[in-house]
Amino acid sequence: MRVEKTSKIDHLINQLDLNEHINSFKQFFSRESSLYIEGDQELHYKYIKSLDTIEFKAPPKVADFFTIKGHLKKHGVLNFEQIFEIVKVVRYFRYFKSRELDGIIGEWMSKFIIDEKFNEVEKYFTHDGKFEENLDEVLFGLGARIREHKANMSGSLKRLLLSSKLSSYLIDSQVHLINDEECVLVRGGFNHVLKGAVISRSSSGGFFVSPDSILKSKEQIRYINQEREAIFYRYAKEFSGKLSELQLFIAFIDKEFTKFDNYQARVLFARSSNLQIIKSKKDSKIILDAFYHPAIHNAKPIHVDFSKNILMITGVNAGGKTMLLKSILAAAFMAKYIIPMRLNENRSHVGSFKSILAIIDDPQNVKNDISTFAGRMQEFSKIFEHKEALVGVDEIELGTDSDEAAALFKVILDDLIKRGQKVVVTTHHKRLAALMADRDDVELMAAIYDEANRVPTYEFMHGIIGKSYAFETASRYGISNNIVNEAKIVYGDNSEKLSLLIERGSQLERELKQKHKKVDEKLEELKAKELDIKAQREKLFSELQEQRDALKKSYDVAINEAKTAARAGDTKAIHRAMDKANKKLPKEKKEQDIIQQEFKVGESVKYHSKKGVIVSISSNKDAILEIEGMRVRVKTSQLRHTQIVKQKPRTDVNVNVEKRAGLKCDLHGMRADEAIEVLDKFISDALINGWDEVIIYHGIGTGKLSYAVKNFLKAHPKVKKFEDAPQYAGGFGAKIVTL
């Protein structure tokens, strides 16, 4: 099943012209791995972006652990090469762990706890995987004996080459290594002066001979090597036994290294070619800004908004329609697998799809006895099996009658949309485009043709049906003007006018529907406002009626009390009743007249409880005040006129203060505590000088300085917000701060 899925992915990569890009990407993997990372894609993306902020060295090339884990499970003996594969992975994780990184990468590395048993194995291997023979006295002695015998052999061969008896038979004066045997190259007849074994023949007819004089030394070396191999096997058996006890740890680092390998490959590949890493969003909208298909060199950037269900691309032949289709599918594919690509990541949005399907190639096959149209129908029938797929169809009308095809594909596209598919189509069928143009969920794009220069521009326009410019394209690619002109006559003016009417009619219909939609939305908005106003009126009337009833009741009570007092002839009681009635009356609220006050630069004003002087006033009623040595920006509506009491004359001392605050602060190379002190002073100076926005460069490095800067900015009361700088201004290594 996995092989079949891999085959489909490889076929899609080939269809979308991504082979070279994907092959370049795979070069950054430490071990062979699938493009898809199993598990939570949101979490994987978080780790990748976090790793992208750190400078690190690439991991070594490492073999798969499948065979190694199988041997250990059966208590087999691993060879030194297999053991060293495990050592390489552990050493790399130890390197990352030793950096004491912050954030989720640091938390991840803290999970790797290396057992002392492994250290006992690791110390016997050099950085390039050779066995440390110096740690074993016997091996060290055997190695010294081998070197001694090799020195004897070398001396014997040199003396032989300088021998006057052999000089006439020597073809050259070099020692040759043939089949791991030291030999001299001699002519025929050498057996009269040299005893030895012929190892091979040269292309010129000479003999490679291993002299008998070094035979004894060679035998000694073979015997010593056998002893060494026995010792090596003993060590391999001992190491394998220790590693068998660490099988869970080895399985853990194997899994984690595969995951890390997927992360680092994406980060280093993106850095190598200045690419961006984005992932699929949880919807089906596709917006590409400044996207470049990796197969095209010196390409024009692609800008496309594919938010609707169907995108129909029409227009000039050889104008880039197919490449636009491939670019949309390629962007969706690379976002799905979090593969770096070139685009504006801040203004692009790529949705998520369960499947990405492409009908691009001509399926005609003589061997299988199938026509172009029949093959296309077979491919379409498979699409109906999928849901929530992104489908790309190139030249949808290929292989059959245009009118019949328009009707058929119109119904097919309608059905695909009902199934939740998102479809991008290239076509020259104006009839099909016109049939689909009346749908609200259809987006039209046309390849633009430069009629003045008679060449396609490889740019696209939204909302129109494009002309194919078949005659112009034929002329551009070598068809004679006589043939093209005659074809135009056969085609006729009426056909040309009909095509223009179809294009214009579809465009007008879409414009009219858009206007109707806007009018309907405005009408609904007005109706909603009318209902809201009506509800407010009823609420106010109800509240007013309640107040009137309450006042009437209070009035009646007060009158009755006054009448009772009058009948009793008690004047004081009458006054008390009137006072009580007055207290029950609602207090009259005096509305303060809002006086529009005018202010001038240099005037003394009051802002809340603080007094200051106006330094400047902008056209949008904003003013900059100087209050107690600091400058702040406020609305003029928040100011009140005041007078600053004149102080007694005093002696003025002129002090020249250097204006130190600039728009940027560079913290590269500083320790965290030193950088925070500099940053605190910088922000204070920036506030005094009235800066609204500044930039802080802290670099990427280990992430400690970035973490300290982020925490300081979060806690500072004068910092409104901050964010990472754009890529051209430092990216993750800088912060844009709004004060």
Q: Which strands, in side-by-side order, build the sheet including 622-627? A: 630-635, 622-627, 610-617, 604-607, 639-641
Domain extent, residue 626, equals: 604-641
320 is in an annotated binding site: yes
Total domain count, the chain: 5
Task: Indicate whether 46 pLDDT > 60.
Answer: yes
317 is in an annotated binding site: yes
Same domain, 295 and 259: no
In a domain, 614, yes or no: yes
What's the whole-number average pLDDT of the chain? 82
Same domain, 373 and 456: yes
Structure confidence by residue, pLDDT tens digits, 307-340? 999 998 887 777 788 899 999 999 999 999 999 9
Q: Which two tokens stand for residue 693?
A: 């926005």
Report the residue count for the chain.
739
Task: Indicate whether 712 pLDDT > 50.
Answer: yes
318 is in an annotated binding site: yes
Q: Are the C-beta atoms of 315 and 463 separated by less than 8 Å?
A: no
In a domain, 659, yes or no: no
Structure confidence by residue, pLDDT tens digits, 498-523? 455 555 555 555 566 677 778 888 88
In a domain, 505, yes or no: no
Q: If you average pLDDT over residues 691-704, what whole number do you get?
A: 83
Per the listing, tokens 């004089």 go with 213
Determine the pLDDT at residue 244. Answer: 93
Percent residues over pLDDT 70 in the chain: 82
Task: Indicate whether 282 pLDDT > 60.
Answer: yes
In a domain, 628, yes or no: yes
Same domain, 357 and 457: yes
Q: Which residue has the higher pLDDT, 92 or 565?
A: 92
Same domain, 263 and 319: no
Q: What CATH number does the domain containing 676 carry?
A: 3.30.1370.110
Give me the amino acid identity at 402: S
Same domain, 150 and 297: no
Prediction pTM value:
0.62
Same domain, 472 and 338: yes
Determine the pLDDT at residue 657. Answer: 40
Same domain, 332 and 354: yes
Task: Indicate whether 650 pLDDT > 60.
Answer: no
Structure confidence by residue, pLDDT tens digits, 443-485? 888 887 665 665 677 777 777 775 655 556 566 666 777 776 6
In a domain, 153, yes or no: yes
Angle between helices 80-98 and 247-273 (to 10 degrees): 70
CA angle 332, 333, 339 (to 5 degrees): 105
Same domain, 440 and 462: yes
Q: Is the dihedral of CA 526, 531, 535, 538 positive or negative?
A: positive
Same domain, 217 and 348: no
Determine the pLDDT at residue 418. Answer: 87
Determine the pLDDT at residue 1. Answer: 52
Which range has highest mean pLDDT (175-184, 347-356, 399-408, 717-726)? 347-356
Q: Of the residues 479, 508, 543, which one is the last residue of a structural domain?
A: 479
Q: Is the dihedral of CA 24, 25, 26, 31 positive or negative?
A: positive
- pLDDT-derived band at 588, boundaries 50, 70, 90: very low
Structure confidence by residue, pLDDT tens digits, 185-217? 999 888 888 888 998 998 888 999 999 888 888
Among 168-177, 504-513, 602-611, whose mean pLDDT is lowest? 504-513
Q: Are the C-beta atoms of 670 and 715 separated by less than 8 Å?
A: no
Q: Which residue has the higher pLDDT, 545 or 629?
A: 545
Q: In this structure, what is the dihedral angle of CA atoms 42, 301, 458, 504, given to the nearest 10 degrees?
A: 70
Q: What CATH number does the domain containing 170 carry?
A: 1.10.1420
565 is in an annotated binding site: no
Structure confidence by residue, pLDDT tens digits, 79-117? 999 999 999 999 999 999 998 888 999 999 999 998 888
Determine the pLDDT at residue 605. Answer: 85
Per the listing, tokens 């130190």 go with 660
322 is in an annotated binding site: yes
In a domain, 717, yes or no: yes
Determine the pLDDT at residue 656. Answer: 44
Determine the pLDDT at residue 658. Answer: 45
Determine the pLDDT at residue 503. Answer: 55
In a domain, 566, yes or no: no
In a domain, 421, yes or no: yes
DSSP string covering 621-675, please?
Answer: SEEEEEETTEEEEEEGGGEEE--PPPPPP-------------SEEE-TT--HHHH
d(CA 168, CA 189): 10
Q: Which residue has the higher pLDDT, 548 or 661?
A: 548
Determine the pLDDT at residue 367. Answer: 54
Same domain, 335 and 438: yes
Task: Indicate whether 715 pLDDT > 60.
Answer: yes
321 is in an annotated binding site: yes
Same domain, 106 and 26: yes
Same domain, 208 and 352: no
319 is in an annotated binding site: yes
Percent residues over pLDDT 90 in the chain: 33
Per the listing, tokens 């004894």 go with 216
Determine the pLDDT at residue 5. Answer: 72
